[in-house]
Amino acid sequence: MTYAARMERWGGYSALLMAVLFVASVSLTAWMPPLSEQPSLPFWPHVLFDYLFALMALLGLALIPAVHQRLQISSPLLTWSGGVAQVGFALTAIVSLWQADYETSLWREAASETSGSLGLLQNGWSGWLQLLLERMPRGWLETAGIGLWIFVVSWIAHRLPVWPISLTQSGLVLGAAMACIALGATIGFTFLQVFGLLNYLLLWPFWLLRLGLFLLHPIPVLVPSFAHMRRKAEALGRRLHLRRTPVARTPEPPQ
């Protein structure tokens, strides 16, 4: 197996594991207490949520070169957006690890343990979404930077026949949704932030799962059809000013 094939395979495994970690981290928020009843000490899902998000961001650093290798296109915009996404993944991992270490220190120094109720079951969907808005990354590099890279990759791959349409179209919507999260958090427009968050929750694991399966399978070799080869030959003939000479037929002898 070549180096490029191993890179794409490890990128596929990273994408699948990222999807699992994201679903697990979002599921943990159901066990977090609502924001109105947050205890002064961290509850165990908070620390585990930060560690899962940090591990997902570290795997994202291995996903970027695998996607670029599968694209096999040299583009300044693709290279620049990939660099921005690497900074975004790295910053997400650093912030999540720092937050987990800080909450763990508070937890160990506490004299008594505190417990919280189920935020999703007690406060309903509105309280759960409000909790997600506080726990999810919403910075320009962590969300909009990664979303820009996803949008550029999907836009370039949309013109390639071997990339699945479901992967490219979901990537275009996902990239725009991640930008909406950062923009809504910056200008204080909650509706825009919630709209981007809902699309992010649905499309991010689907995009990762579809991308992982695509990277684990080799690109099929497209065999040109006979009609396509005929059109190419006719176009080449017109360019070379070749004319089809009529076939001379000998007259039939009279009966």
Q: Which pLDDT score is estimated for 223?
A: 47
User: Between 221 and 127, whose confidence is greater?
Assistant: 127
Amino acid 118: pLDDT: 43
pLDDT digits (tens, 9 = 90+) for 224-242: 555 656 676 676 666 665 5
The model carries a pTM of 0.75
Placement of tokens 């996902």 in the chain: 174
Classify residue 158 by its DSSP letter. T
Going by pLDDT thresholds of 50, 70 and 90, the confidence category of residue 221 is: very low
Question: Which of 51-55, 133-137, 140-144, 210-214 has the least mean pLDDT?
Answer: 133-137
Question: Alpha helices of 110-245 — where are they, by DSSP H?
Answer: 119-135, 146-157, 165-187, 190-216, 226-239
User: What local confidence, expressed as pLDDT, does residue 98 receive?
Assistant: 87
Specify the amino acid at residue 199.
N
Contact 148, 79 (CB under 8 A): no
